């Protein structure tokens, strides 16, 4: 099962998050840019879970 790689921060909605960009996700795949994740102290506002570094995917060729 693959992660859903969302392309926008769910908090600020302005940060673009390409597949190779750093981002933070929780176990439910809520996705945030790094500055928003830091501002929320790496806690997901939706589920209360921990935000961790999203794995990166290589861009398709």
Distance of CA 48 to the CA centre of its chain: 14
The Cα 43–Cα 19 span in angstroms is 22
Q: What is the pTM of this model?
A: 0.86
Segment 1-51, tens digit of pLDDT: 778 889 999 999 988 998 888 999 999 999 999 999 999 999 999 999 999
What does R_g of the chain's alpha carbons equal in angstroms? 11
Q: How far does the chain reach from its first CA to its final CA, in angstroms? A: 22
What is the predicted pLDDT for the residue at 59?
Answer: 64
Q: Which residue pairs from 34-38 have beta carbons closer than 8 angstroms and sit at least 24 positions apart in sequence?
A: 36/9, 36/11, 36/12
């Amino acid at each position: 099962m693959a992660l859903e790689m969302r392309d926008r921060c769910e908090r600020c909605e302005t940060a673009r998050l390409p597949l190779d960009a750093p981002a933070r996700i929780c176990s439910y795949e809520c996705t945030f840019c790094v500055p928003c994740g830091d501002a929320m102290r790496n806690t997901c506002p939706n589920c209360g879970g921990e935000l961790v570094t999203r794995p990166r995917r290589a861009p398709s060729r």
